[in-house]
């Protein structure tokens, strides 16, 4: 398994507070992704990164920002959490140098509850 | 963007039977398609990748087919076991080196 960890694994927060989720990988993979998973919607891409300081938006990026200052770390920030952002968040990486045509390796997920 | 349809109803089958899961997509045919398995409380795990020029791919008890005319992939598990019970996700490549995932189908194998 690719060495992908996520922290925290569980978090409960209140509406309006900032939240940062961390994804750490030990595989030196170039591409990293943040998804959210909700019942009936499956995995939806929030943001992804194709290198240090290189990021792009996904399908559901509103209300989220990301940063990647090192190859191994990809941070997802909710600037002002809302109840609609209650979800399970997954980080993924791929060893492909182009990002395409390759499998993605997923972290264990972070369950976020916004009250 | 791609839209993917997987059967939202759980598939319940008896141990030893073949489970067949369906993935339909609506837009352009992707260069490849992937299947993942997800257990409760865990991240998805890659199972198989099939390219558009491949009709069928096998791995042990797993078989995937890819019909670009029908815009459909079928995922088969032969001689199913209770340990195969999980949610199975279909994913298609999208431009910009991204994957689009279906919502998944729950498979329950009863002994």
Report the pLDDT value the prediction gives residue B96, as an integer from 0 to 100: 65
| Cα distance between residue A110 and residue A93, in whole Å | 16
Question: Which tokens belong to A38?
Answer: 């909700």
Q: What is the per-residue pLDDT across A38-67, written as a single tens digit (0 to 9) for each?
A: 988 889 999 999 999 999 999 999 999 999
Closest chain B residue by Cα to residue A90: B43
Residues of A in contact with B43 (CB under 8 A): 90, 92, 106-109
Half-sphere exposure of A57 (CA within 13 A, CB side): 7
Residue B52 above 80 pLDDT?
Answer: yes
Half-sphere exposure of B97 (CA within 13 A, CB side): 23
* B14 sits in which H/E element: strand B11-14
Report the pLDDT value the prediction gives residue B27, as an integer from 0 to 100: 81
Report the pLDDT value the prediction gives residue B37, as an integer from 0 to 100: 98
- Min distance B96 CA to chain A CA atoms (Å): 8
Tell me how far the alpha carbon of residue A113 is from its chain's centroid. 15
Report the pLDDT value the prediction gives residue A99, as an integer from 0 to 100: 53
Q: What is the per-residue pLDDT across B56-108, written as a single tens digit (0 to 9) for each?
A: 999 999 999 999 899 999 999 999 999 999 999 999 988 767 889 999 999 99
What is the arithmetic mean of pLDDT over B26-46? 91
> Pairing between strand B4-6 and B19-25?
antiparallel
Report the pLDDT value the prediction gives residue A2, as an integer from 0 to 100: 62
Report the pLDDT value the prediction gives residue A95, as an integer from 0 to 100: 81
Report the pLDDT value the prediction gives residue B2, as an integer from 0 to 100: 78
- B101 contacts A105? CB cut-off 8 A: no
Report the pLDDT value the prediction gives residue A1, as an integer from 0 to 100: 54
Calculate the alpha carbon distances from A77 to A2, A63, A109 in Å. Answer: 23, 9, 15
Q: What is the per-residue pLDDT across A62-99, written as a single tens digit (0 to 9) for each?
A: 999 999 999 999 999 999 999 999 999 999 999 876 65
Report the pLDDT value the prediction gives residue A98, as an integer from 0 to 100: 63
- Min distance A70 CA to chain B CA atoms (Å): 20
Is there a contact between A26 and A75 (Cβ–Cβ < 8 Å)? no
Which of A48, A90, A103 is nearest residue B98 as measured by Cβ atoms?
A: A48
Residue for token pair 């993917």: B4
| Cα distance between residue A11 and residue B16, in whole Å | 41
Interface mutation vs chain B, best among A37, A39, A42, most B CBs within 10 Å: A42
| Cα distance between residue B55 and residue B63, in whole Å | 11
- Min distance A18 CA to chain B CA atoms (Å): 25
Q: Between B51 and A99, where is the model more confident? A: B51
Q: Mark out chain B residues that contact chain A at CB-CB < 8 A.
A: 1, 4, 8, 31-32, 34, 41-46, 49, 51, 89, 91, 93, 96-104
Is there a contact between B76 and B18 (Cβ–Cβ < 8 Å)? yes
Residue B46 above 80 pLDDT?
Answer: yes
- B98 contacts A99? CB cut-off 8 A: yes
């Amino acid at each position: 398994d690719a060495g992908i960890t996520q922290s925290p694994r569980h978090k409960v927060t209140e509406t309006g507070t900032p939240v940062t989720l961390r994804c750490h990988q030990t595989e030196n993979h170039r591409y990293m992704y943040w998804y959210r998973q909700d019942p009936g919607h499956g995995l939806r891409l929030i943001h992804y990164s194709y290198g240090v300081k290189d990021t792009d938006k996904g399908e559901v990026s509103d209300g989220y920002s990301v940063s990647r200052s090192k190859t191994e770390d990809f941070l997802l920030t909710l600037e002002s959490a809302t109840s609609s952002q209650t979800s399970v968040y997954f980080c993924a990486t791929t060893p492909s140098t182009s990002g395409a045509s390759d499998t993605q390796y997923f972290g264990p997920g972070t369950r976020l509850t916004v009250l | 963007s791609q839209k993917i349809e997987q059967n939202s109803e759980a598939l319940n089958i008896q141990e030893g039977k073949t489970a067949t899961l369906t993935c339909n997509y609506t837009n352009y045919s992707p260069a490849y398609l992937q299947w993942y398995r997800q257990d409760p409380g865990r991240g998805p795990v890659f199972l198989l990748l099939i390219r558009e020029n491949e009709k069928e791919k096998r791995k042990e008890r797993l078989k995937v087919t890819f019909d670009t005319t029908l815009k459909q992939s079928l995922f088969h598990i032969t001689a199913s076991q209770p340990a195969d019970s999980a949610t199975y996700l279909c994913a298609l490549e999208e431009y910009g080196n991204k994957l689009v995932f279906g919502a998944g189908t729950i498979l329950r194998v009863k002994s």
